[in-house]
Structure formats: structure tokens, C-alpha cells
């Protein structure tokens, strides 16, 4: 297998995620897009690990997975918080702080 196949796939996921983060306005969907990005990173790490013949890549990926889970939890908590105060998860309306 060619290394770059995996890397290109990861790049696609990464950029798709970036698009999602920038273009979605529902907070939950933005978080999902973030997950896409993180998975791209993980795919990269595992592929590189295999490429370099080391488990370090996998270990790194495992840490990312664990922490990403925590991040999502926190993110959802914040989105919920916002929803509770604003009755909406529309990110575009959140611009009270600016300038």
C-alpha cells in the first residue's frame, strides 16, 4: 500500500472537517466536523506508525481518541449551556462579544 493513499484520505477528511467547521451553523454539527478532523489526524498517525514500523503512532492515536472523547463531552456541555440560555444552538447568532 502506498503511504500517500492514507495520507490523502486523511487530508480529505481533514479538509472536509474544516469545511464543516466553517460552514455549519448548528453547534452539534460543528462538533461533528471537529471529530472528522481529529480522525484525519488519527489516520495519519496510525499510517505513519505503520510506515515507520513503530507503535508510537498507535499510542499517539490512542491518546488522541481518549482526549477527543473528553473534548466532545466538554464541547457538548458548552453547547448545552448555550442552548439553555438562548434556546438555540445557532452559532452565527452568538456575537455579543466583539470589537
Partner 1 sequence: MLGQNIAFGVIALIMMMAAVQVVTSTNVVRAALSLVIVLAGVAAQYILLAAEFTAVVQVMVYIGAVVVLFLFGIMLTRARIGHESDLDNSNKIPAFIVSFTLFVLLIALLRDAFGRQKIHVAAPSNTAQIGTAIFSTYLVPFEVASVLLLAALVGAIVLARRD
Partner 2 sequence: MLRFAAASLAAAGSGAFHQPVIDYHAFAPEIVLTGVLMIVLVADLIVPEDRKVWVTNIAGIGVLASLIPIITLAVSGHDRSMFGGAYVVDHFSLVFKGLFIATGYVVLLMSTNYVADGDYYEGEYSFLLLASILGMVVMASSRDLITIFVALEMLSLPAYMLAGWRKRDPKSNEAALKYYLLGVLSSAVMLYGMSLIFGTTGTTVLADIGSYLSQQGGTPPLVTVALLMIVLGFAFKVSAVPFHFWAPDTYEGAPTPVAAFLSVASKTAGFVALIEILYVGFLSNNNVWGPLCWVLAALSMTVGNLIALRQTNIVRMLAYSSIAQAGYILVPFAVAGANSHALVTAQKASALYLLVYTAMNLGAFAVVIAVARKTRSGEISSYGGLFSYAPGLTLLMSAFMFSLAGIPPLGGWFAKLFMFSAALDAGTRPAIVLAVIAGVNSVIALFYYASVAREMWMSPVPDGDVTPIRVPPALATALGITVLLTVAVGVYPTLFARMADVTVLARL
Partner 3 sequence: MLDHAWIIPLIPVVSFFLILFFGKRFPSKGASIGCVALGICFALSLVLGAQWIGRDKTIEPLHHATAQQVRAAESGRASSAQGGEAGGEKVEMKRAPVVHETTWFQTGGIKIKAGVLIDGLSVALLVVVSTISLLVHIFSTEYLRDDRRKTHYFAALSLFTSGMFILVTSSNTLQMIFGWELMGLCSFMLIGHWWEDKNNSNAALKAFFTTRTGDIGLLVGISMLFGLAHNTFDIGRINSLAMSGRLDQGLLTVAAAALLLAVIGKSAQFPLHTWLPDAMAGPTPVSALIHAATMVVAGVFLISRLYGVFWQGFHIGTANGFTPVAIVGGVTIIIAAALAFVQSDIKKVLAYSTVSQLGYMVMALGVGGWTAAVFHLFTHAFFKACLFLGAGSVAHSGSHHSFDMKEDMGGLKKHMPITYATFVIASLALAGIIPFAGFWSKDEILVSAHANGYNTFLWVGLVGALMTAAYMTRCIYLTFHGEARGAAAHHHPHESPLPITGPLVFLAVLSVVAGFVQAPMLHIEAFANIVEPAYVSSVVNHSGFNGGLALAGLIAAFAGIGIAGGYYFRNLGPRGLTSRNGAARAGYTFLVNKYYLDDIYTDGVVGSIKGPIARAAYWINQNVIDGVLNGAAALAIMLGRFTYDIVDQRIVDGAVNGLGLSAEAGGGALRTVQTGKVQQYAAILFGALIVFAVALWRFAK
47 to each of 1, 3, 11, 32, how far by Cα in Å?
A: 10, 7, 12, 22
Q: Binds 1, which of partner 1, partner 2, partner 3, none (CB < 5 to 8 A, cut-off by type)?
A: partner 1
Should residue 37 be labelled a site residue for partner 1 when binding is judged by CB under 8 A?
Answer: no
**CA distances for 40 relative to 13, 32, 97, angstroms:** 5, 13, 32
Closest CB 91 distance from partner 1, rounded Å: 7
Residue 90 phi, psi (nearest 5):
-80, 115
Compute the C-alpha angle 61/64/68, nearest 5°: 145
Cβ at position 36, least distance to partner 1 in Å: 6
Contact between 97 and partner 1 per CB under 8 A: no
Of these, 55, 58, 65, 90, which contacts partner 2 (CB under 8 A)? Answer: 55
99 binds partner 3 (CB under 8 A): yes
Residue 77 cell numbers, joined: 456541555
20 counts as binding partner 2 under rule CB under 8 A: no
State which residue, 58 or 88, has the beta carbon closest to partner 3: 88
Amino acid at each position: 500500500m502506498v503511504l500517500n493513499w492514507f495520507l490523502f484520505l486523511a487530508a480529505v477528511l481533514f479538509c472536509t472537517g474544516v469545511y464543516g467547521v466553517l460552514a455549519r451553523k448548528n453547534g452539534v454539527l460543528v462538533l461533528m466536523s471537529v471529530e472528522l478532523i481529529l480522525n484525519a489526524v488519527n489516520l495519519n498517525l496510525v499510517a505513519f506508525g505503520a510506515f515507520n514500523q513503530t507503535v508510537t503512532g498507535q499510542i499517539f492515536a490512542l491518546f488522541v481518541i481518549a482526549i477527543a472523547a473528553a473534548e466532545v463531552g466538554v464541547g457538548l456541555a458548552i453547547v448545552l449551556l448555550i442552548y439553555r440560555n438562548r434556546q438555540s444552538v445557532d452559532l452565527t447568532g452568538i456575537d455579543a462579544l466583539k470589537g
